[in-house]
Structure 1
Amino acid sequence: MATVHDVAAYILLKAAPMSAMKLQKLCYFSYGYHLAWEDRPLFAERFEAWANGPVAPELYSRHRGRFELKRGDIEGDPAELDDQEKESVDIVLENMRVYSAHELSEMTHRTGPWVEARGRAQVPDLERSNEPLLDEDIADFFGALAEHEEHND
């Protein structure tokens, strides 16, 4: 199975440069849609409900203190992704790379797994939380999004 670092390296290979925040959000959307489409996680690492949206702490530790990331800045192996994993990430990039990091972050704040995790943690806006996002919530949310998008095509 690929790691969050492999997926991040693949995203940077395809779409760098970008901000660290945008990379986090693209990893999150890739994870969510892949879970909904393929019924399996894209990687084993979890997302937490941080103040600015879902964050994979293991990935954050690799880019902490950096604003912009280029190809090769995240140590990972894009070749670890199988064809279905690459396809999921490619579709997300095709549809979401046009959005800014802040727009992607706003999308995670409206409803869904991040909001639910923040509610479980009972933390106010802008307060730090390491409450995990649950795969069940992510699968339900992105499954409903994918179904809605399919009906609107």
Structure 2
Amino acid sequence: MTVFDVATYILRARGEMSAMKLQKLVYYSQCWSLVWDERQLFNSRIEAWANGPVCPALYEKHRGNFRVSEGIIGGEPDALDDDARETVDSVLKYYGDKTAQWLSDLTHSEAPWKDARDGLSAGERSNHPIPVAAMAEYYGSL
């Protein structure tokens, strides 16, 4: 599975959405897969950007588009196995109706993003990674 497969699965399930919302739903899918399935959904790096967690590889696919549809991403949603689909579906059930801003604000209040941005000012650019271990530890403790 790739981040593109996960993103396309999300877009197929929920339809076109803002790029920011897609990035946050992909992030939470990765986080909860680490907790519930004890594995990464995908191996792409997630970074602590000013507006919250962003997967740069996914960003490169939708760069320049405020709204994103599945055709832009080009992943294979059928590549997700049963555990992955169950995890992403659970994430969408909880987070899917939230706004992009609400999701961004939530990530800003949580340790993995905050810790990865330690020492940076609020709007400062950053490509600091959010470690997989930090995601697993934080969300596993909730």
- TM-score between both structures, scaled by the size of structure 1: 0.90
Q: Distance in 1 between matches of 2:141 and 2:68?
A: 32
Structure 1 alignment gaps of length 5 or more: 146-153
Which residue in 1 is equivalent to 2:132?
A: 135
Report 1:80-99 matches (<5 A). 80-99=79-98
Give the secondary structure class of the aligned counterpart of 1:73. Answer: helix
Residue 42 of structure 1 contacts residue 85 of structure 1 at CA under 8 Å; is this kept in 2?
yes
**Partner AA of 1:43 in structure 2:** F
1:73: how far off?
Answer: 2.3
Cα root mean square deviation, aligned:
0.8
1:72: how far off?
Answer: 2.2
Task: State the percentage of identical aligned residues.
Answer: 49
Which residue in 2 is equivalent to 1:12?
A: 11
Give the secondary structure class of the aligned counterpart of 1:95. Answer: helix
Which residue in 1 is equivalent to 2:27?
A: 28
Which residue in 2 is equivalent to 1:123?
A: 120
Deviation per residue, 1:124-145 (Å, 9 max, x gap) = 1100000000111100111122
Larger radius of gyration: 1
Which residue in 2 is equivalent to 1:149?
A: none
1:17: how far off?
Answer: 1.5
For the pair 1:62 / 2:61, whether they are aligned, the reply is yes
Which residue in 2 is equivalent to 1:148?
A: none
Q: Distance in 1 between matches of 2:57 and 2:13?
A: 21
Residue 48 of structure 1 contacts residue 131 of structure 1 at CA under 8 Å; is this kept in 2?
yes
Residue 13 of structure 1 contacts residue 72 of structure 1 at CA under 8 Å; is this kept in 2?
no
Structure 2 alignment gaps of length 5 or more: none
- TM-score between both structures, scaled by the size of structure 2: 0.97
For the pair 1:41 / 2:40, whether they are aligned, the reply is yes
Deviation per residue, 1:26-85 (Å, 9 max, x gap) = 000000001111111010001001000000000000001101112322111001111100
1:15: how far off?
Answer: 0.3
Q: Distance in 1 between matches of 2:104 and 2:4?
A: 20
Deviation per residue, 1:112-132 (Å, 9 max, x gap) = 10001001xx21110000000
Q: Distance in 2 between matches of 1:60 and 1:38?
A: 25
Q: Distance in 2 between matches of 1:82 and 1:3?
A: 12
